[in-house]
Amino acid sequence: MEYLKRKRSFCCNNLSLVIAPTLNCNFKCPYCYEHDLPSRKMNEKTQDELINFINLHKNKTKSLNLCWHGGEPMLAFKVIKNILNKINEKSEIPVSSHQMVTNGYIFSKEICKFFNETKLDYIQITVDGTRETHDKNRIHKSGISTYDKIIENIDLIVEEMPNCNVGVRVNIHNTNKGDYPEIHKKLTDRWKGKNCRVYPAFVLPQSGCNVACLSNSEKPKFYVDLYQKYKMKNINFTPNLEVGSCSAIYENHYVIDPDGLLFKCWADFGISERVIGNLDAGINNWEYVSEYTISTDKFKDDKCLKCNIFPICDGGCNRFRLDYKLFGTPYDVCPVDRHGLINYLKIIYEQMLNKKNQWLNSF
């Protein structure tokens, strides 16, 4: 497994870029890990450096994966449009994947038409519970409600961009976890038959998080309750072998801010010590590159290596381990709770019995 992880880390077939055309945002969510970052947008010079950086990889990569991030990337829509036009005209590597992470507040028919033509194939938008709960968590800086506008924009996106897969993410924490069954059913019914999926994701206790995050023991209970109490049967409890899911482990993965600074992790924006280089000069901080790629995964964690759950766990967040290694920051990266795993296995056993009985009853 370690060999397969290393092999995947150093595979150079794809160049993956997470691009923040601006770090400005129109929201002030209480769990956001980006604070007091500059609001400027990527200028023309940096955009040209980005194209040159892409073309430097033409002899060793076959495809380009793009993901727009921020801040809120749609506050710099003109920059995104300009970069995509430059890629179309000057890039020597074809785009194979085109994605976006957005709060979904700024969209129109014209914007949808553009992204439809540029083949945006995935867009992640967050809806955090019912209207009342959502507006307490997805807070517009002006204080206005954001729920209805985001729902209307998702309606627009699924109609105008039918080939784009829409992931409606519900960030789960102790404040809103009780809303999930209701909002999942409501939104799933609303977009039934559309290219859209509603799913939960746990908020992590990153720096500056001001909500109560679920503990490792509470996370399995959340899923078990969805299955048993709320009869949500499409939850997969089957354990899987995990080699490594963190994007920062890949050699050809870069996160780029509006000034052209390069990072490995999405959560490192604005942290000068985590800069690994820039678009113009290339990489100069190989220490952090090697830490993320090699030294902070489960294969180098004594706790993981002694754990008998190890094969079916991705090992948790590499960045948490890096903070602990460099600064002594306390961390608990275990994403698997032993008692919760036992409950999962009971459900898997129940599912297997049900399938067996259905098979026997078919004769």
Q: Please spell the DSSP secondary structure of 325-344, one letter per residue.
A: HHH----------HHHHHHH
- Name the β-bridge partners of 200: 170
Residue 14 has pLDDT above 80, yes or no: yes
Percent of the chain with pLDDT over 90: 66
Greater pLDDT, 163 or 208: 163
Widest Cα–Cα separation across the chain = 71
- What's residue 312's pLDDT? 82
- What is the rounded radius of gyration, in angstroms, for the C-alpha atoms of the chain? 21
Percent of the chain with pLDDT over 70: 100
Dist CA 153 CA 159 (whole Å): 10
User: What is the fold of 2-263?
Assistant: TIM Barrel (3.20.20)
**DSSP secondary structure of 45-64:** HHHHHHHHHHHTTTTT-SEE
Residue 24 neighbours by CB under 8 Å, 6+ apart: 37, 38, 39, 40, 41, 70, 71, 72, 75, 76
- 283 CB-side CA count, 13 A: 15
- Asked if 260 contacts 19 with a C-beta cutoff of 8 angstroms, the reply is no
**Which residue's structure tokens are 């275990």?**
334
- Asked if 253 contacts 16 with a C-beta cutoff of 8 angstroms, the reply is yes
Dist CA 145 CA 8 (whole Å): 43
* pLDDT tens sequence across 44-56: 999 999 999 999 9
Highest mean pLDDT range out of 28-37, 252-261, 262-271, 340-349? Answer: 252-261
Confidence band for 270, pLDDT divided at 50, 70 and 90: confident
Dist CA 113 CA 152 (whole Å): 16
- Asked if 148 contacts 186 with a C-beta cutoff of 8 angstroms, the reply is no
Domain coordinates in residue numbering, the chain:
2-263
Dist CA 47 CA 24 (whole Å): 17
- What's residue 263's pLDDT? 96
Nearest to 120 by CA among 85, 137, 90, 96: 96
Run of H or E including 261: strand 261-263
Mean pLDDT of the chain: 92
Other C-beta atoms within 10 Å of 132: how many?
A: 11
Residue 300 has pLDDT above 80, yes or no: yes
Measured torsion, CA atoms of residues 336, 341, 345, 348, in degrees rounded to the nearest 10: -50
SS3 at position 137: helix
Confidence band for 141, pLDDT divided at 50, 70 and 90: very high
Residue 331 has pLDDT above 80, yes or no: no
Confidence band for 209, pLDDT divided at 50, 70 and 90: confident
Q: What mean pLDDT comes out for the span 256-280?
A: 94
Residue 11 has pLDDT above 90, yes or no: no
- What's residue 163's pLDDT? 95
Measured torsion, CA atoms of residues 333, 336, 340, 342, in degrees rounded to the nearest 10: -150
